């Protein structure tokens, strides 16, 4: 079952250019089969390309009708999940998309949408993965003013267990987990009722002497040493800024906490670069393929 599917999402982005630029890697990959799922008309170059290598590639055609982007996304995602249920694939890769257009303001991001579609359980986490330095934002695409009330003991426990299980079952190596504080200096300047004190009590009561977990740590100095670490941050930009500054395109987005792992290149749609192929960097997509080959 060393096969995958790639969801062809946003045709107004650089998605088709990314895949065509990566076609040599796709052809020579160790993957047995790669399924492309999407609209053949809007991804015509990929459709024509797959026909030359039909032993390696299969194109499952799903039409984008009347610009109903959300319905289209639901259909291609459902088809990918069905391939997994039929034991035809191990991983799903979704290409970047315009969240506002394709999710129709119903979900914070594809991570939450995917979780809903696969098992309707709110137990997912977004992991920005690199072999040496990874990050996991506890809250994702929400406003800063809403972060504090979204941080709960339940969410932290779920996130820590998801990270532990992912590295144990998939990566199969020990990792150091650093839990960041919410407030400056991890709340040391505030009273004992601060969110950071509650995070500290949770870690010591539920995860003491288990794995290699430290925290809460002040975020302003936490990233001086990132080797062999995963940082659980309290909000999106707290961890994504250092991750992208250090790893640039050498990282991928993974939804963890599910039996069926979903991957994505760790960048946006870059629609302005659609007609400027020289500036398109396909490294993150290549890293997705390498991950599927290796694990």
DSSP letter string, 130-175: -SSEEEEESS-SS-GGGHHHH--HHHHHHHHHHHHHHIIIII-S--
Question: 83 to each of 60, 228, 230, how far by Cα in Å?
Answer: 11, 34, 31
Identify whether residues 104 and 141 lie together within a single domain: no
For strands 261-265 and 252-256, give the pairing.
antiparallel
Identify whether residues 188 and 266 lie together within a single domain: no
Do 240 and 137 touch, CB atoms closer than 8 A?
A: yes
The verdict on residue 281 lying in a domain is no
pLDDT the model gives residue 94: 97
The verdict on residue 282 lying in a domain is no
pLDDT the model gives residue 26: 97
CA–CA distance, 290 with 74 (Å, rounded to integer)? 27
pLDDT the model gives residue 123: 95
- What are φ and ψ of residue 253, in 5° steps? -100, 125
Measured over the CA atoms of residue 216, residue 219, residue 221 and residue 224, the dihedral's sign is: positive
CA–CA distance, 214 with 220 (Å, rounded to integer)? 15
The verdict on residue 284 lying in a domain is no
The verdict on residue 151 lying in a domain is yes
Within the chain, which residues score under 70 in pLDDT? Answer: 1, 208-211
pLDDT the model gives residue 1: 61
Q: What is the CATH number of the domain that holds 159?
A: 3.40.718.10
Q: How many domains does the chain have?
A: 2
The verdict on residue 132 lying in a domain is yes
DSSP letter string, 190-243: S-TTSHHHHHHHHHHHHSTTSSEEEEEE-TTTGGG--TTEEEEESSHHHHHHHH
Identify whether residues 136 and 110 lie together within a single domain: no
pLDDT the model gives residue 215: 87
Identify whether residues 95 and 143 lie together within a single domain: no
pLDDT the model gives residue 275: 77
Tabulate helix, strand, coil % of the chain (nearest 5): 45, 20, 40
Identify whether residues 11 and 116 lie together within a single domain: yes
Do 95 and 18 touch, CB atoms closer than 8 A?
A: yes
- What are φ and ψ of residue 117, in 5° steps? -75, -30
Identify whether residues 143 and 84 lie together within a single domain: no
Identify whether residues 146 and 168 lie together within a single domain: yes
The domain of 29 spans: 1-120+260-270+290-294
The verdict on residue 210 lying in a domain is yes
Average pLDDT over all residues of the chain: 93
The verdict on residue 10 lying in a domain is yes
Identify whether residues 232 and 208 lie together within a single domain: yes
Residue 283's nearest CA partner among 245, 249, 239 is: 249
Identify whether residues 92 and 211 lie together within a single domain: no
Identify whether residues 32 and 149 lie together within a single domain: no
The verdict on residue 28 lying in a domain is yes
Nearest 5°: the CA angle 176, 181, 182 is 140
pLDDT the model gives residue 272: 85
pLDDT the model gives residue 199: 86
């Amino acid at each position: 079952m060393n096969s995958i599917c790639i969801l062809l999402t946003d045709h107004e982005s650089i998605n088709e250019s990314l895949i065509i630029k990566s076609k040599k890697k796709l052809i020579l990959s160790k993957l047995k089969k790669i399924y492309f799922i999407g609209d053949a008309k809007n991804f015509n170059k990929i459709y024509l390309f797959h026909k030359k290598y039909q032993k390696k590639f299969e194109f499952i055609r799903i039409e984008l009708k009347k610009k109903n982007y959300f319905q289209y996304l639901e259909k291609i995602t459902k088809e990918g999940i069905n391939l997994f249920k039929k034991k035809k694939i191990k991983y799903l890769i979704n290409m970047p998309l315009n969240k506002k257009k394709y999710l129709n303001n119903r979900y914070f991001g594809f991570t939450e949408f995917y979780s809903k579609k696969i098992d309707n359980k709110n137990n997912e986490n977004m992991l920005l993965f690199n072999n040496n330095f990874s990050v996991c934002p506890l809250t994702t695409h929400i406003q800063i003013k809403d972060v504090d009330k979204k941080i709960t003991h339940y969410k932290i426990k779920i996130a820590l267990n998801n990270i532990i299980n992912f590295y144990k079952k998939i990566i199969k190596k020990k990792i150091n987990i650093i839990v960041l504080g919410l407030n400056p200096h991890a709340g040391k300047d505030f009273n004992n009722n601060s969110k950071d004190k509650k995070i500290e009590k949770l870690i010591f009561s539920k995860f003491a002497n288990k794995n290699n977990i430290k925290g809460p740590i002040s975020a302003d100095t936490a990233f001086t040493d990132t080797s062999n670490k995963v940082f659980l941050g309290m909000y999106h930009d707290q961890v994504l800024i250092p991750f992208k500054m250090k790893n640039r395109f050498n990282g991928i987005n993974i939804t963890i906490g599910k039996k069926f792992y979903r991957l994505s290149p760790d960048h946006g749609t870059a629609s302005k670069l659609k007609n400027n192929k020289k500036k398109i960097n396909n490294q993150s997509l290549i890293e997705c393929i390498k991950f599927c080959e290796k694990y």
